[in-house]
Amino acid sequence: MSNTVLASLSLTHVHYDPSDTISYLCAFLALVPQGLCVVYATLIWSTREAEILLLFVGQMLCEALNFALKRILKEERPKVMHGKGYGMPSSHAQFVAFFSVSLMLFLLVRHVPKGKSESHTPLGLSARVALSVMGLGAAAAVAWSRIYLSYHTPKQVAVGLLAGSVIAVGWFIVVAIARQLGMLEWALEQPIVRLFRMRDLVVEQDLCQAGWEKWEEKKLGKKANTGGIGKTSANGKKKL
């Protein structure tokens, strides 16, 4: 073992200047794509929403296209950076551009409020615009950090942002057409999909509110069956 040459896992291996606070913060911004993948996996597993799964599929297609573009263009990274692989376009910039533009399209185009219901209170326009701006701002910060850390040139980052945005719009249109043609509804009825209990309700139902209402109904049912929590019986003892 002492003669074994160890390798570094480059997935989260980020070069930064420890004497520079901004460089230190940029190193954390470089981990945003990995963090978003964790968020994707958590939400898909916990909600079983087709909307989130489709967004993740588009995100992975975006990554695959970035992989192909880098090997087609074969443009090197800045000389001051010793990172591996080609630099055109920036995969970080493309990743966050896809996510932020997809989020904006969902909030401003797909998530059209149809009025309040018992289990759904839609976000107002101001809230949806604010969330969209925050998402775009966060994406811009991640993209800028790649230039600051000298992992990419401004041109590589700009192309990455453009590619991610175009793919996001294209994927949004593809999914919309699939919905209109009934392809998504058909897919959700397939046995393998039903096995995982996938659904398509995120626009119509507030997941937190719906879960809370079921919890409240369960508590009311228990109170009705027991005659109330803490009710005193004839012998003076409390019923639990």
The pLDDT of residue 135 = 92
Nearest residue to 99 (alpha-carbon basis) of 127, 141, 69: 141
Tens of pLDDT along the chain (240 residues)? 556 665 655 666 778 788 888 888 888 888 889 899 999 999 888 888 888 889 999 999 999 999 999 898 888 888 776 557 777 899 899 999 999 999 999 888 887 655 555 545 567 788 888 989 999 999 999 999 988 888 888 999 999 999 999 999 999 999 999 888 888 888 888 888 888 888 877 766 666 666 666 777 777 777 777 765 455 444 555 444
Could you please report the per-residue DSSP string of 109-146? II------BTTB-PPPHHHHHHHHHHHHHHHHHHHHHH
d(CA 178, CA 173): 9
pTM of the model: 0.78
For tokens 């230039």, name the residue: 147
